[in-house]
Amino acid sequence: MKKSLFSICFFISLSNSIFALPIDLTKNWYVTKGFEISENPDGKQWKTLESLPLSTILKQFEWEKGKLRKVTMAKSFLLSPTDFQKVEDDAFSLHVPYISNYFAIYINQSLVTSGGSIKEDSIETSGYRRHIIVRLKRSNLKVGQNQIRILVAAEEGEELNIYDLFNDFPTNINLASNHSEIEDETLTYMLLFLYFFVGIYHGLFYWKRRQETYNLYYALFSIFLAIYMVFRTQGVYSLGLEPFTQTKIEYFVVFLTPSWLLLFTDLFFRSKISIVSKTYLFFSVLLAITQIFVNRATSVLLLRVWQVSVFVFGVILLYLIISAVRAKNKDAKRLLMGVLFLLGTGSWDVIGASGILPIQNLNLLRFGYLFFVLGIAVVLANRFLRVHRQVESLNLSLERKVEERTNELQNTLTKVQELKVQQDGDYFLTSLLLDPLGQTKVNSTQVLLQAFVKQKKEFEFRGKKREIGGDIIISDSITLNGKSYLVFINGDAMGKSIQGAGGALVLGVVFLSFIKRTQMILENQNKSPERWIKECFFELQTIFESFDGSMLVSVVLGLVEEDTGVLYYLNAEHPWTVLYRDGVASFIEEELELRKIGTKGMDGDVRIRIFPLETGDVLFIGSDGRDDLVLEENVDGNRLINEDETKFLEVVEKSKGDLNSIVENLLDVGTFSDDLTLLRLEWLGSFKRVSKDSLNHLNSDDYLYSKIKSLLDLGKAEEAFQTIETFLANESLQDDIRINLIREKSRISLLLKKFDIAVDALESIFPYFVTDNEILLQLSFAYRKSKNIKKAIELGERLRARDPKHIRNLINLVECYRLVGNLERAKKIFSRLAALSPEHPQVVKLREVLGSLQN
């Protein structure tokens, strides 16, 4: 009796009696932690859930961190004989609109369906899905009281929930025929087909008219939205995708969908993509790609982040549309209503899906987009009509406009032809002016000079074919300090045709003027080759700098001493000089030191390079036309230009140093894309060169070497000096030994302060060591100590031109200028010296001396 009474009470408290289908399963559940298939829900561990969703009660449980969260829900319901009578020709059907993540459903302790799998207390595969519809066997049910249990589980951080309804379909038990309408998605498929077709349609528009990029983004938006709708239908489950994989694909599509609409709106109304739209696209792509590689909990978190960003997207989209409306864009006005409806339905779905407000995600966006498509159709139709009216207007006056245009073109053509004749006349006059400047007539038995000039611009004026360009080669002969020098310059002026020719014209006039002054004025011939090149460079720089950077010239400027074959030169951003020696071509430069002539702010020191030529050496100096060869050219006019400067070395070696063969072999490599000048310089003379280490390379048991070295080691410099004098008196000494003994004599003379003797010794051997900067410094120092300050300054400046950062030479020059009273020059050089080596003892001393002189 008591047992029966307890059952009645339990039945009254647990069940929600419904005596007619459908049976509502949204209310009065008992919930407990863990999986309980058979235990009656009457213990203290069971809690009452008045109404779904499940998530509203989960906070009442304490969950162990890092463990799988498991929940059992139990509910009793009644089936009357009338209910069973209804399903004689039908069947019972259970509908649960949404379960996540793993689930198993039992009715009267019999498993009727499940989703996902659990292994070792973790979810191995997800069972998440929407609209679970299960046909129930009559054998699983009974008249009167029945019990349904739903077991659900989720990882920490994942959604653990059962919805009360989804898309307005509640959780219940009903006739299978009534539940069939849930899976009837004919309207949805019609809409997504429409959207997909619209996307393909606009994609084809973009294919035909690539300049209308907004069609591409609108096509992507439509196609992505259609794909997203596929994933929101029940039919997607027929693909058999693993639920979490299906979710990743769905999130990837939905994360990017608003971005395409934003880009479309930006381009459609503003004809450009703003930084805000680019940022939102980058943010969406980052989210879409990231969620592919994260777990289910993090994926849900990323979805929440995206849902918040959608509202930001809506604000931006509305701003763009309203801005266009305020700018009186008629298309924007027509599109505004469609956008508002689209944003309204989309916001409703996002809010419903995120749970921010207690509303349902009714998938209204599919209908909102329909209004948006209609708005776009109206906009495009109006654009088409406007274009059609314009075409009709043009056709009405086409014949008159064609005639007017033809007359205009004829007049323009006549003017162009007149201007062409005038231009060719200017070209012809300029080429006549350039002809006498580009001279390479040098009569020398020691130096053989050849030149090749090919300007890119060719023209014809009154039947005469000529060339004009910015490349120029000039060579001549001058005398400096009684020695004959061959002077040359190879220049490449900035710009094409007349602009380059103007630069070449200025270069030629200034350079030849400098040469003529040297040839005519004796004072200008009393200069060292280093000083001559330096002064010539600065004169050119001063002239071209006045053009304020609009005319720049790269050059190689140099002198060759005809008797000794010593090359003095500088390179101002010109292609590197090539030496052809013993069948091998190589560059004699390794780094860029000077910018082009005319470059503003060239405050750096000019360094004169020195290179001794040997008999038969050939130098090749050329403009960048030798490297800028067109290797190939496609039908679109795109050219592949050679970028390998060593290719010219290969051509020189292949041509064996012959200038004509070099030009022919360059054309085998590619066609010329620029002006080309090549200067070939071959030294035919011979001159005895003595190595500065000749004496040191003698054997250690050699009498001469050991005798002098032993005396110097003992500090007997005077005796060593006299010994060298004795050796030099022997007329049978070899030249190399004699020259090196004189060099040793000069060094000992400086130690003994016999400066006049040191001067004579150094002057006698300097021609053999012309590239040795130490001898130049010693000679300048000896002259200073001999009170010949003028000569000391000349030699010091000569060394400074070779090596502007030579510390000891700068100290020597400061002393020289101080001694002659030129304090301004002394201070200028000292400022450079102090910047290079401020802590040098002699620099410190000079600072005090110059400071005291100033006071």
pLDDT tens, residue by residue, 125-174: 888 777 888 888 878 888 888 999 999 998 887 888 888 777 667 888 88
Lowest mean pLDDT among 613-627, 628-642, 772-786: 628-642
341 belongs to a structural domain: yes
Q: Give the model's pLDDT for residue 15.
A: 40
How far apart CA 629 and CA 97 sit, in angstroms, is 72
- Per the CB < 8 A criterion, the answer to whether 728 and 749 are in contact is no
Distance CA(513)–CA(510), nearest Å, equals 5
The domain in which residue 678 lies consists of 435-623+673-683
Question: Are residues 368 and 476 part of one domain?
Answer: no
Using the predicted structure, report yes or no on whether residue 7 has a pLDDT greater than 60.
Answer: no
Instruction: Extract the tokens encoding 172.
Output: 């219940």
What's the pLDDT tens digit per position in 571-587? 999 999 999 999 999 99
Average pLDDT over residues 102-107: 91
Which of 145-154, 186-195, 362-371, 625-634 is most confident? 145-154
Give the pLDDT mean for 271-297: 87
Question: Rg (Cα) of the chain, in Å, rounded?
Answer: 48
Domain-terminating residue out of 160, 179, 198: 179
Place of tokens 């102090």: 834
Task: Please indicate, yes or no, if residue 711 is contained in any of the structural domains.
Answer: no
Residues 458 and 512 occupy one common structural domain: yes
Give the domain CATH number at 494. Answer: 3.60.40.10
Cβ-based burial of 851 (10 A; exposed 0-12, middle 13-18, buried ≥19): exposed
Q: Are residues 342 and 473 in the same domain?
A: no
Are 210 and 267 in the same domain? yes
Check residue 22 and give its pLDDT.
84
* Residue 566 and residue 492 share a domain: yes
At position 459, the amino acid (one-letter code) is F
pLDDT digits (tens, 9 = 90+) for 423-456: 666 767 777 677 777 777 778 888 999 999 888 8
In a domain, 705, yes or no: no
- CA end-to-end span of the chain, whole Å? 128
Pairwise pLDDT comparison (786 vs 437), residue with the higher score: 786
The residues near 4 (Cβ < 8 Å, ≥ 6 apart) are none
pLDDT bin (cut points 50, 70, 90) of residue 611 is: very high
Q: How confident is the model at residue 522 (pLDDT cuts 50, 70, 90)?
A: confident
Q: What is the mean pLDDT of the chain?
A: 81
CATH number of the domain enclosing 52? 2.60.120.260
- Closest to 677 measured CA to CA, from 771, 818, 601, 575: 575
Beta strands in 440-497 (DSSP E): 447-454, 457-461, 464-468, 471-480, 483-493
Asked whether residue 288 falls in the same domain as residue 349, the answer is yes
Which of these three, 373, 388, 409, is where a domain ends?
A: 373
Q: What is the pLDDT of residues 243-255, one digit of tens each?
A: 788 888 888 988 8
**CATH number for position 257:** 1.20.1070
Comparing 340 with 510, the larger pLDDT belongs to 510
Split at pLDDT 50, 70, 90, the class of 361 is: low
Query: Measuring CA to CA, how many Å separate 592 from each of 528, 574, 595?
Result: 24, 9, 8
pLDDT tens-digit profile of 320-329?
A: 878 877 877 7
The answer to whether 345 touches 373, Cβ cutoff 8 Å, is no
59 and 173 together in one domain: yes
pLDDT digits (tens, 9 = 90+) for 787-830: 898 988 888 888 888 888 888 988 888 889 888 888 888 888 88
Q: Are residues 283 and 238 in the same domain?
A: yes
Q: Is the pLDDT of residue 16 over 70?
A: no
Is 841 inside a domain boundary? Answer: yes
In a domain, 131, yes or no: yes
CATH of the domain at 786: 1.25.40.10
CA distance 27 to 164: 8
Q: Average of pLDDT values for 725-754?
A: 83
Q: How many domains does the chain have?
A: 4
Give the separation between CA 452 and CA 439, rounded to whole angstroms. 12
User: What are the two backbone dihedrals, phi and then psi, of residue 195, each rounded to the nearest 5 degrees?
Assistant: -65, -40
**Average pLDDT for residues 35-60, to the nearest whole number?**
85
* pLDDT 10s digits, 334-350: 677 667 766 666 666 65
- Residue 10: the pLDDT is 39
Contact 685, 479 (CB under 8 A): no
Highest mean pLDDT among 220-234, 342-356, 652-666: 652-666
**CB of 765 closer than 8 Å to CB of 753:** no
Would you give the distance in Å from CA 38 to the centre of its chain?
67
Q: What is the tens place of the pLDDT at every residue in 376-386?
A: 666 766 766 77
Shared-domain flag, residues 313 and 258: yes
CB 484 within 8 A of CB 471: no
174 and 60, same structural domain? yes
Nearest to 532 by CA among 545, 520, 516, 514: 514
Q: 255-269, 374-388, 741-755: lowest mean pLDDT where?
A: 374-388
Average pLDDT over residues 474-495: 90
Residue 426 lies in a domain: no
Given 683, 714, 733, the domain boundary residue is: 683
Scanning the structure block, which residue is given the tokens 């040793």?
Answer: 744
**Alpha carbon distance 29, 25 (integer Å):** 8
Q: Quote the percentage of the chain above a pLDDT of 70.
A: 86
**pLDDT-derived band at 67, boundaries 50, 70, 90:** confident
The CA distance from 382 to 435, in Å, is 66
Residues 59, 45: Cα–Cα separation, whole Å:
14
Q: How many angstroms separate the CA atoms of 766 and 777, rounded? A: 11
> Are 469 and 611 found together in one domain?
yes
Residue 400 lies in a domain: no
Residue 484 falls within a domain, yes or no? yes
Residue-wise pLDDT for 397-432, tens only, equals: 776 777 777 788 888 777 777 677 676 667 677 776
- Residues recorded for the chain: 855
Which amino acid is located at 513 in the chain?
S
Same domain, 585 and 486: yes
- Taking the C-alpha atoms of residue 693 and residue 316, their distance in angstroms, rounded to an integer, is 80
Q: Residue 17's pLDDT is what? A: 40
